[in-house]
């Protein structure tokens, strides 16, 4: 059979790759945060996201501390420590989310 398809050449792949990289570079300048569907988030959506990230950090830290205190019978000490760790994690998460909204290129934090 002579109906075999030829694999795409390396040159066509390189051209498509360059085109995709240029599109990504031009889209990277957008400062609008996007939701899960790629649509820009509204102000209310951004506020809910920031609030949820902050509360989730505090709740998770406090919950982990509470269960460690019950397991190790250490009183409220681990809950207090993990409350502050969870609070710090929540604030860091909010900082990272808001810094990406400002158009920063570095997505790993400061």
**pLDDT tens figures, 47-98:** 898 999 999 999 999 999 999 999 998 888 999 999 999 999 999 999 988 8
User: Sign (positive/negative) of CA torsion 91, 92, 97, 101?
Assistant: positive
Gap between the Cα atoms of 73 and 65, Å rounded? 11
- Give SS3 for 40: strand
Percent of the chain whose predicted confidence (pLDDT) is above 90: 35
Which pTM was predicted? 0.57
Gap between the Cα atoms of 51 and 91, Å rounded? 10
pLDDT of residue 28: 61
Looking up tokens 């400062």, which residue turns up?
31
């Amino acid at each position: 059979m002579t109906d075999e398809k030829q694999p795409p050449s390396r040159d066509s792949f390189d051209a498509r790759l360059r085109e995709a990289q240029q599109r990504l570079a031009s889209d990277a300048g957008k400062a609008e945060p996007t939701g899960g569907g790629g649509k820009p988030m509204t102000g209310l959506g951004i506020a809910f996201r920031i609030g949820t990230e902050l509360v989730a950090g505090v709740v998770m830290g406090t919950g982990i501390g509470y269960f460690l205190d019950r397991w190790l019978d250490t009183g409220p000490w681990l809950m207090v420590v993990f409350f502050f760790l969870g609070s710090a994690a929540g604030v860091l998460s909010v900082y990272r989310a808001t810094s990406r909204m400002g158009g920063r290129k570095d997505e790993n934090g400061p």
